[in-house]
Amino acid sequence: MTDQAAEVGNWNLPNVLTGVRILLVPVLGYALLHEGGDSILWRCVATVVFAAAMATDKVDGDIARSRGLVTNFGKIADPIADKAMTGMAFVGLSIVGDVWWWVTIVVLVREWSVTLLRLSILRRVVVAAARSGKVKTVLQAVALTGLCLPLRQVHPPLHDAGVVLFYAYQAALAVAVAMTLWSGFEFFRDVWRQRATIRTT
């Protein structure tokens, strides 16, 4: 962790946005699970909450870097907030039957193992965010936002269109899962290479 990150105060806009994102996690869970996931209104609320949280994930990072507000707290809290929000979306959607549980388990194991390893080696090894990881994040955000919508709960004449969109977002989720696994492989490969380089120097 850099001296600059240690000198910047934790009370700043990026960290506030990160904190808000963490507070929205149980709100997302409640909205998704309300009435067993069949409430059109609450599914729309869940969609807005998740989309807003994903937007702040990018905004707070951009603000922190552009204004020199990167902090040690932010380095730790930001990925935790991100994984907690997407994790809640995956778990909630699995509970209501819109995402297979094995998909949720595979993704969560990958996400949290990478996050915990990244935080544990932060002082010794810096692994830059790969392009595949950024693509994975975008694909997950798009797929989960779409699946939060009440696509199968709407009534005719919108029901058929909703079902078509539901399976389209399922296809997007499949691509997101594939990219999630690939980016995880790239991360562990790069960590292994850097640690091997450190040992030989």
Tell me the C-alpha distance between 184 and 114, whole Å.
7
Cα–Cα distance for residue pair 43/33, rounded to 1 Å: 8
| Rounded average pLDDT over 115-128 | 69
pLDDT at 1 over 50: no
Average pLDDT (154-176) is 94
Confidence of residue 3 (pLDDT cuts 50, 70, 90): very low
pLDDT above 60: residue 2: no
Q: How many domains does the chain have?
A: 1
Answer with the residue of higher pLDDT: 171 or 73: 171
Confidence at residue 106, expressed as pLDDT on a 0 to 100 scale: 96
pLDDT confidence band for 5 (50 / 70 / 90) = very low
Residue 103 has pLDDT above 80, yes or no: yes
Q: What CATH number is given to the structural domain containing 122?
A: 1.20.120
Q: CB–CB of 22/74 below 8 Å? A: no
DSSP states of 74-124: HHHHHHHHHHHHHHHHHHHHHHTTSS-HHHHHHHHHHHHHHHHHHHHTTTT
Cα separation, 160 vs 172, whole angstroms: 19
User: For the residues 122-142, what does the mean pLDDT come to?
Assistant: 77
The pLDDT, as a whole number, for residue 125 is 59
Task: Give mean pLDDT, residues 190-198.
Answer: 73
The 3-state DSSP composition of the chain as helix, strand, coil percent (nearest 5) reads 80, 0, 20
- Rounded Cα distance, 148 and 10, in Å: 33
Give the CA radius of gyration of the chain. Answer: 18
Query: CA 96, CA 151: separation in Å to the nearest integer?
Result: 13
pTM of the model: 0.87
Range of the domain at 192: 3-200
Quote the Cα angle for 42-47-50, to 5°. 120
Copy the structure tokens of residue 12: 């700043």
Query: What are the pLDDT digits (tens) for 17-54?
Result: 999 999 999 999 999 999 999 999 999 999 999 999 99
Tell me the residue type at 104: T
Strands (E), the chain: none
> Using the 8-state DSSP alphabet, how is residue 130 labeled?
P
Residue 98 identity (one-letter amino acid)? D
The mean pLDDT value of the chain amounts to 87
Does 13 score more than 60 pLDDT? yes
Q: What is the DSSP letter of 70?
A: -
